[in-house]
Structure 1
Amino acid sequence: MERCAWAGPEQIYIDYHDTEWGVPERDARALWEKLILDGFQAGLSWITILKKRENFRSAFAGFDPEVIASWGEPEVARLLSDPGIIRHRGKIEATIGNARAYLAIAEQEGFDQFLWKYLDGTPLQNSFATQAEVPPSTDLSTRISKDLRKAGFRFCGPTIVYAFMEACGLVNDHLVTCHRHGPCAAMA
């Protein structure tokens, strides 16, 4: 069975690739969680975040934005002392601010609607044969990044947003030789 070149060799990576990555995500809270985790991944490898994902969920109240939006310095201090997550003050503080921004968008139009409107609700289907063809960012990820920043989000640059788009199936970047390309395309 052929997979995208980045998927492996660890089983947790293979499982993530085979069951989650590239699957169109429509749940607003799940989208927000993935965007936050992609922000924490900046400068690190995704496998690092993937291995700590359950710790993040526990430390960040199940990624409940209503809870996180009310946090302040005591919670930041608690998180900075938690060895189960990435202890980066800027990313932790950004998550709290991002929860507030998420709630504002959710009230206006829904976070899922906010994101999927850029694609008219239909994932982009790419047909890359090699990993070298996959861009680190696109004009669309740049536009979404700018709009997220205008809404108050941080740690959401064009490269982070493009990785998020791939992870959440807003774009299908499974290589055409990968066994997941066709199934993810069919979910569109």
Structure 2
Amino acid sequence: MNMGERCGWVGSEQIYLDYHDTEWGVPEYDSRALWEKLVLDGFQAGLSWITILKKRDGFRAAFQGFDPNVIAEWGADDVTRLLGDPGIVRHRGKIEATITNAQAWQRIEANEGFATFLWKYVDFTPVQNQWDRLDQVPASTEISVQISKDLKKAGFKFCGPTIVYAFMQACGLVNDHLTGCPCHGPVAQIGQHGMPR
């Protein structure tokens, strides 16, 4: 794939190229994986995604594979431990939010399933956008504003409309690969059947 053809936000580092080519925009239907990505997008607030991407393995190690059922039981000692871990972004508010977000995830998962909770906003099928240029891509949408409100109501933190829209893009609830990007068509094809139910 010619690097110049990719979406313009991708840097030149291989980890970023691989993420764009194989992961970004591909529909994710697993509740735990969706939660992990939302947490990581929350950690990204105020930082670049490449920073989080480079530390993702460190995050996965520190947060026990992002198992919300484990993290929901954590307390002050775990926060202190994580604040001393150089493998992650050491931000007390975001670490504490991860624990409360795990508890909120448990409630939603028990009620209807976290994947169902999120995918219902797009009728269980990815929105196929047709952006030609990066400056056409919104930072947030009415749907991301609504999801953000509902997540906050459910007890989530670090999930504003912009974070939620970045999450929707990453997890394939919307296909925001530019129309000239070689990934646009394949990602659209993967999502055409929607969420298995």
TM-score bucket (shorter structure) = over 0.9
AA of the residue aligned to 1:57: R
- TM-score by length of structure 1 reads 0.99
AA of the residue aligned to 1:146: K
Query: 2:137 and 2:161 mapped to 1: Cα distance?
Result: 14
AA of the residue aligned to 1:167: A
Query: 1:36 and 1:50 mapped to 2: Cα distance?
Result: 13
Aligned with 2:24 (options 10, 21, 26): 21
- Structure 1 runs of 4+ aligned residues shifted over 2 Å read none
Q: CA deviation at 1:100?
A: 0.0
Query: 2:106 and 2:21 mapped to 1: Cα distance?
Result: 31
Residue aligning to 2:75: 72
Matched, 1:113 2:116: yes
Residue aligning to 1:146: 149
Query: 2:67 and 2:163 mapped to 1: Cα distance?
Result: 21
Matched, 1:46 2:49: yes
Residue aligning to 2:9: 6
Q: CA deviation at 1:48?
A: 0.2
Matched, 1:170 2:150: no
AA of the residue aligned to 2:100: G
Q: CA deviation at 1:120?
A: 1.1
Q: CA deviation at 1:8?
A: 2.0
AA of the residue aligned to 2:75: G
AA of the residue aligned to 2:96: E
Matched, 1:59 2:62: yes
AA of the residue aligned to 1:137: S
Query: 2:187 and 2:150 mapped to 1: Cα distance?
Result: 27
Query: 1:49 and 1:165 mapped to 2: Cα distance?
Result: 17
AA of the residue aligned to 1:88: H
Query: 1:8 and 1:29 mapped to 2: Cα distance?
Result: 28
Q: Equivalences for 1:115-134 in 2 at 5 Å?
A: 115-134=118-137
Q: CA deviation at 1:70?
A: 0.5
Aligned with 2:92 (options 85, 89, 96): 89
Question: Across the two proteins, how many residue pairs are aligned to each other?
Answer: 188
Identify unmatched segments of 5+ residues in structure 1. none
AA of the residue aligned to 2:138: P
Q: Sequence identity of aligned pairs in percent? A: 70
Q: CA deviation at 1:16?
A: 0.1
Query: 2:76 and 2:31 mapped to 1: Cα distance?
Result: 27
Query: 1:129 and 1:84 mapped to 2: Cα distance?
Result: 37
